[in-house]
Amino acid sequence: MAEASEWPALPLAPWEQTRATLHMWTQIVGKVRLALSAYQNHWWQVPLYVSARGLATSAIPFRGGNFDIEFDFIDHQLFVRTSEGRTKTMALAPKSVAAVHAELMAVLRALGIDVQIWTMPVEIPNPIAFEKDETHASYDPAQASRFWRVLSLADSVLKEFRGRFIGKCSPVHFFWGSFDLAVTRFSGRRAPPIQGADSITREAYSHEVSSVGWWPGDAMIRAPAFYTYASPQPPGFSEASVRPAATRFNKDLSQFLLMYDDARQSPSPRQAILDYCQSTYEAAANLGRWDRAALERAPT
């Protein structure tokens, strides 16, 4: 596991335009997966996954075979590969969202993959339809690689944390809507319905959850951070004692935050993140009266 010196800095400002563009590119790819994948509980057919070279869809079924799409942040290519052995690539370079959308649709058609997607981005303010978006057109290869490196390190630690749980738990997956990496544990009990919620939110939070993840920063939080929330949030959650000491509860987001820089600059980032994941989960599980003995793997 990486030591402190191996966790790179990732300030938001130097790559904010690349981040915004890459967010839209991942939404295009994610919507292709969504359009062709069978529904799974809590929308788990939607996310991307950290791969050895970037972010990938995993296998998508199509006409008796499969294909996948992968962002390669080492050689800066987008790969589309089929189970018939055919591969096509697109260069990851400064291009508008409209250009990438048109190019990817042409690549898919050339491979015999016909797919229709809803081209309006989600979970962002002032969305622009993919085919009309000439605004987002930035791509800094070094910054994209750095983002993927941090994502890979966070993915490894979150997977280690996930392995401690034997109850229902999501994969560690990357949601292209919110542009974050997350893993969610479930108590096994139904949650009270969220009044006024849309169908996606109702399904996502139909059961009690404790979720932890990482995201690279946004307009509200101007730096990368680990986050934890509980839904429904049990009384006393925001005042719970958690680790490490740098962790803070953000009232606007109703989440515990551990800033990435605080974690990476600690003597052992891995241990700091695991302590954060474990202690914030315990706050949710203990205050929510989860049956922890039945849900957690005994230490070996």
Query: pLDDT tens, 258-270?
Result: 999 999 999 999 9
Residue 37, pLDDT > 80, answer: yes
Helix (H, G, I), strand (E, B) or coil at 239: helix
- Residues sharing a CB contact under 8 Å with residue 150, sequence separation 6 or more, in sequence order: 7, 8, 10, 214, 216, 224, 260
CA distance 28 to 31: 5
Mean pLDDT of 84-109: 98
Determine the distance from the C-alpha atom of residue 212 to the mean position of all C-alpha atoms in its chain, rounded to a whole number.
10
Q: What's residue 3's pLDDT?
A: 61
How many whole angstroms separate alpha carbon 219 and alpha carbon 232? 25
Residue type, 262: D
In the structure encoding, which two tokens stand for residue 243, read together? 């680790």
- Hey, what are 39's tokens? 């529904």
Question: What pLDDT shows up at residue 246?
Answer: 98
Given 3-state DSSP classes, what are the helix, strand and coil percentages for the chain, each rounded to the nearest 5?
Answer: 35, 25, 40
- Residue 182: pLDDT band by 50, 70, 90 thresholds? very high
In sequence order, what DSSP letters do the residues of 25-78 get, joined into one string? Answer: HHHHHHHHHHHHSPP-GGGTTS-BEE-SSEEE---EEETTEEEEEEEETTTTEE
50 pLDDT exceeds 80? yes
Secondary structure (H, E, C), 266-293: CCCHHHHHHHHHHHHHHHHHHHCCCCHH
Assign 189 a pLDDT band (cuts: 50, 70, 90).
very high
What confidence tens digit (pLDDT) does each residue in 133-163 have?
999 999 999 999 999 999 999 999 999 999 9
In the predicted structure, residue 5 carries a pLDDT above the cut 90 = no
The pLDDT, as a whole number, for residue 199 is 86
Mean pLDDT, the chain, whole residue set: 96
Share of the chain above pLDDT 70, in %: 98
Interval 214-233 mean pLDDT: 96
Residue 20: phi and psi, rounded to 5, are -65, -40
Q: Which amino acid is at 108?
A: L
Query: β-strand 65-72 against 255-259: which pairing, if any?
Result: unpaired
Give yes or no for a cis peptide into 244 (omega within 30° of 0).
Answer: yes
Among 112, 113, 130, smallest CA distance to 121 is for: 130
Total-model pTM: 0.95
Tokens of 49: 């996954």
Instruction: Give pLDDT tens digits for 208-218.
Output: 999 999 999 99
* Model pLDDT for residues 250-297, shown as the tens digit of each residue: 999 999 999 999 999 999 999 999 999 999 999 999 999 999 999 999
Nearest to 91 by CA among 48, 128, 141, 32: 141
**Other C-beta atoms lying within 10 Å of the C-beta of residue 25:** 23
Is the pLDDT score of 300 beyond 90? no
pLDDT at 200: 86
2 pLDDT tier (thresholds 50, 70, 90): low
